[in-house]
Amino acid sequence: MTIPAHVVNGNRSTTLWRAAAGALAALLLAGAATAQVTGLYYQEIRKDGTIYVFNTYERYKSFQETGEMGKTAITLPGRGPSGETLIGENATAIDLFLFKNNLPGYDRPTPKPAAPPAAFPNVKISGLAYISYQDGTTGGKDYSQFTLKRGYLDTQAKITSYLSARGTLDITQDTTGDWKPRFKYLYGKFDFGSAGFLTTTYAELGLAHMPWLDFEEHINYYRLQDPMFMESNGLFNSADVGLLVGGNFGGDMPADYKKNVSSAYPGRYGSFQIGVYNGTGYHASEANQNKVLEGRITIRPVPDAIPGLQFTYFGVNGKGNTAAEPDWSLSAGMVSYESEYVVLTGQYFTGKGEQDGKSVDSLGNALKKSGYSGFVEGKFTREWSLIARYDNFDPNTNASNVRSKKTIGGVAYKFNSSNMLLLDYQQVKYDQPGKPTDKRTQLTLQVSF
C-alpha cells in the first residue's frame, strides 16, 4: 500500500496514516478484504462554520478557484465536531473525515436497484372513434343521421430496442350498410437513432404513413370534423404500401414545449420524411407498375425566438392508379404556428391529377388543379377552443365556374388531451351556376383509449 508522506488539515500538518487507516477500515468492513489502496488524497478547509473535505486534488484546486464543490458533493448539516456543516466532495471524503475525527459514520440511503432491462415484445392496444350526428342538405336534399366516421383498433409492439410493428384496423361501411374492418396501417418500423444533425431517424416498411397527413393532423387536431383540405378534395389519403424514411433535424425541442404545445415531430430545426409507394392508397389495389415518390421537409427557422413557427414543403411525383397511368404530381407549401393559446396554418398547392387517376380530360390527360386553405384554433382554456377553416379548391384550372369554397366554424370541449366533443357548422359554395350550397351542422364525439 502506497501512502503519501503527509496531509494538510486546514493550516495544520498531520500524518496521513489515520485517514488511510479509516479508508482501509471502511473497505474491510464492506467486505473488500483484498482491496489495494494506492495514493489516497485528503484535504479539508474550514471556513465560516463550514468544513469542506476533498479526496481528489483536482476538485480541491477547482474549489479554490471557483468555490464550487461539484455535482457529486454531499452536505451534512451539523455533522462537524463542533456542529459545523460538513460538505464533502463525495462519500469517500465524508468517510475519511468522520473516521479521522472519531465521529459516527455516514448512513447512506440504500441505492435503488437498477431498472430491469426492457421486456420484449412490449405490446400496446388502443382505440379511436368519431361518433357524429349530422343534419344538413347536400345537392339540395335534406338529410339527418347518426354515423360512425372512424373506428380504429390499433396494436403497437416493441419487438427489440430497434424494431417495432404497428397494425391498425379501420372500419368502413359498404354499399349494403354492413360495417367491415380493413387495415389502415400494417408495417414494421426500424429505429436508427441519430447521425450528426439528423436525429431520431427511422424507416417504416409495409402499409405505412405517407409524409403529409399525419404531420398536418398533428398541427390541426380536428380530423374528427372532416378530412384535411387536400384529402377531402380527393388528391390522396394517408397511407400506402411502400417504404418511408424520416427523422428530425438537430435534436428535440425542450421538454416544456413538448408538454405545453406539441410533442409531435419535435425536431429542433424541423423534420423530414421521404417515401416510395405503389401509389394506390390504403383501400385500392395496384392497377399499374409505376411507383410514386413523395417527400416532406419542414424547417423550424428560429426555435428559440419563435419555437412554434414552421415552414413546410410537400411534393408528389408519379402516376395515377389506373391502367392508363395519367400523370400525378403535386407541390404544396404550408406555414404553421403553434403555441399554448393559438394554432395557425396557411397552405397552397398546385398540381395535376390525383391518386386514383380518375381526374382526366376527354383525352386522358390529367387535369391541372390548385387551391389554398387556412385554419385557426383559439385555445381559451385547456378545455375550450374555437376553430375556423376556409378551403378554396379548383379541380380544373383550365375550366371556369368549377371552384368550391368551404367554410367551417366550431367550438370544442376537451375532456382531456385526446377525448373531446366538437360542435361545428360547415357550408360549401360552388361557382357552378345552379348548383346549390351544401350545409351541415354536426356534433362529434372523439373517443380515444
Element (H, E) at 259: helix 255-260
Cell reading at 114? 437498477
Cell reading at 335? 406555414
Interval 249-255 mean pLDDT: 96
pLDDT at 6 over 70: no
Neighbours of 272 (CB within 10 A): 19
Give residue-wise pLDDT tens across range 370-417: 999 999 999 999 999 999 999 999 999 999 999 999 999 999 999 998
Q: In angstroms, how far is CA 111 from the centroid of its own chain?
A: 33
| pTM over cut 0.95 | no
Average pLDDT in the chain? 90
Sketch the domain layout of the chain as residue ranges. 7-100, 122-448
**pLDDT top residue among 17 and 304:** 304
Cβ within 8 Å of residue 223, ≥6 positions away:
130, 217
| Helix 91-100 vs helix 17-29: crossing angle, to nearest 10 | 120
Give residue-wise pLDDT tens across range 181-226: 999 999 999 999 999 999 999 999 999 999 999 999 999 999 999 9
The span from the CA of 299 to the CA of 311, in Å, is 5
pLDDT at 14 over 80: no
Give residue-wise pLDDT tens across range 304-358: 999 999 999 999 999 999 999 999 999 999 999 999 999 999 999 999 999 999 9
Contact between 367 and 361 (Cβ < 8 Å): yes
Cell reading at 191? 429505429
pLDDT at 134 over 80: yes
Residue whose C-alpha cell is 409492439: 157
Rg (C-alpha) for the chain, rounded Å, is 33
Interval 223-252 mean pLDDT: 97
The span from the CA of 52 to the CA of 57, in Å, is 13
Give residue-wise pLDDT tens across range 261-280: 999 999 999 999 999 999 99
With CA atoms as reference, report the closest residue to 396 among 443, 362, 428.
362
Q: What is the b/e burial string over 372-386, where b = at least 16 CB atoms within 10 angstroms of the residue's CB?
A: bbbbbbebeeeeebe
Most confident of 37-46, 111-120, 300-309: 300-309
Cell reading at 9? 488539515
pLDDT at 30 over 50: no
Element (H, E) at 429: strand 420-430
pLDDT band at 71 (very low <50, low <70, confident <90, very high): confident
Q: Residue 118's pLDDT is what?
A: 72
pLDDT band at 39 (very low <50, low <70, confident <90, very high): low
Could you check whether the bond before residue 121 is cis, i.e. omega within 30 degrees of 0? yes
Q: Residue 264's pLDDT is what?
A: 97
Element (H, E) at 409: strand 404-414
Listing DSSP states for 95-147 in one string gives HHHHHHTT-----PPPPPPPPPPPPSSEEEEEEEEEEEEEEEEETTEEEEEEE
pLDDT band at 444 (very low <50, low <70, confident <90, very high): very high
**Regarding beta strands 163-173 and 239-249, do their DSSP bridges make them parallel or antiparallel, or are they unpaired?**
unpaired
Q: Residue 10's pLDDT is what?
A: 39
**Which stretch of 45-49, 118-122, 291-295 has the lowest confidence by average pLDDT?**
118-122
Q: Classify residue 65 as exposed, middle or buried by CB count within 10 Å of its CB (0-12, 13-18, 19+).
A: exposed
Domain covering 122-448: architecture: Beta Barrel (2.40)
Angle at 45 between CA 39 and CA 48, to 5 degrees: 165
Helix, strand, or coil (residue 425): strand
pLDDT at 362 over 50: yes
pLDDT band at 104 (very low <50, low <70, confident <90, very high): confident
Cβ within 8 Å of residue 44, ≥6 positions away:
9, 10, 51, 52, 53, 54, 97
Neighbours of 48 (CB within 10 A): 6
